Homo-oligomer: A and B are copies of this chain.
Amino acid sequence: MIKVGILGGGQLGRMMLQEAANYPVETYILENDSQCPAAHLCHHFHLGDIRDYETVMSFGEKVDVLTIEIESVNVDALEALEKMGKKVIPHPSVLRTIKNKVFQKQFYSEQEIPTASFVITHSKEQVLQHKHLLPAVHKIGEGGYDGRGVQIIHTEEDLHLAFDAPSVFEKKVELDKEIAVTVAVDQHGKIIMYPPVEMVFAPYLNLLDYQLCPADISNNVLWKLEAVTVKLAKAFNSPGLFAIEMLIDRNGDVWVNETAPRVHNSGHHTIEAHYSSQYDMLWRIMLDYPLGNPDMLKPSVLINLIGEQGFTGVPKYEGLPEILQMPEAYVHFYGKETTKPGRKMGHVTVLGTDRIDLIRKAKFVKDKLKVKA
């Protein structure tokens, strides 16, 4: 059996391993928490720091293929392992480009991928020289994750919020919709794209409220999304699964915001709503099998299950029976031992017939199901 190692043992690793059991593959996880969501679902669990060169090297030497479930890994080690002949998916060169938002943004620009106008800044003072970009978004190069490291600068009065570190300072797109596209590239360069999904945000919190598939977009916008996706997938020049976040402006133009070179939250709905899930697809890529079928079985809505404000401790899932009685709902809990405000504790996917049906179901789930302690 082929031996595959995953750097990181969170919920993405967990769902990868649920799917791995369909294939003849021996699985390895590296993570520095022995109680992490993926720890008990692999053949071999290794306790260690994915950011440490020696640790990643000795882990990588045990396997045939390596992948990641989070970008904050030791890329030097992955590059050395690749030189030793290990398959690393995605290629370390892609990780190096993507894990630093400055490099990522410069890559889009060099590759003529449409992305919002920007400058690179190294200090607060430099930001002051680019007021013409306001309203703008300031994104720190390294260290940002899940909303941290991103600051919206509406007016000059907000300029004190800017980062004093290498960052991208970019013009805010006049947003019509935020879209995520998952694209798969196999080891022979074949490309397959999932139908675009539409992110719906709570207007006051800038938190993802729910996510609809398919996105409600015109054919014209769909064609632009497809063209940009394929161009970007080719530009990375690497096998892998890529989740691309794109912004549609009020003119119907498409701008790439950022890419995750791995399975991603925006693809969870594919487990039940599509023939081949994002997890299945990544295993096919790593095991050098034919790509799966990204088509929808049914329209779907995805709701993240986030730890409620004011609760820290052993999670209690309030309202769960009501959700489990919904005839088209699927729950996924991530097995985390403690909840805290804002922590991703699970998700719910609901299948449906159309947008109105899906939005109604999403609101029901959000009203009923709460993670408390």
Contact = CB atoms under 8 A, between A and B. Distances in A.
B289 A333 contact: no
A324 B287 CA distance: 12
Interface in A314-343: 315, 317, 320-321, 324-325, 327-328, 330-333, 335
Interface stretch (A21-29, A61-69, A123-131, A159-167): A21-29
Copies in the complex: 2
Contacts of A292: 324
Interface stretch (A40-48, A86-94, A170-178, A255-263): A40-48
Interface string A17-38: 1100111100100000000000
Interface range, A side: 35 or more
A297 interface: yes
Contact of A317 (B24, B321, B333): B24
Q: Is the interface of A mostly helix, strand, loop or mixed?
A: loop
Interface of A: 1, 14-15, 17-18, 21-24, 27, 40-43, 275, 284, 289-290, 292-293, 295, 297-298, 315, 317, 320-321, 324-325, 327-328, 330-333, 335, 351
13 contacts: A18-B21, A21-B41, A22-B331, A22-B333, A23-B331, A24-B333, A41-B41, A275-B328, A290-B321, A290-B324, A293-B327, A295-B327, A297-B298
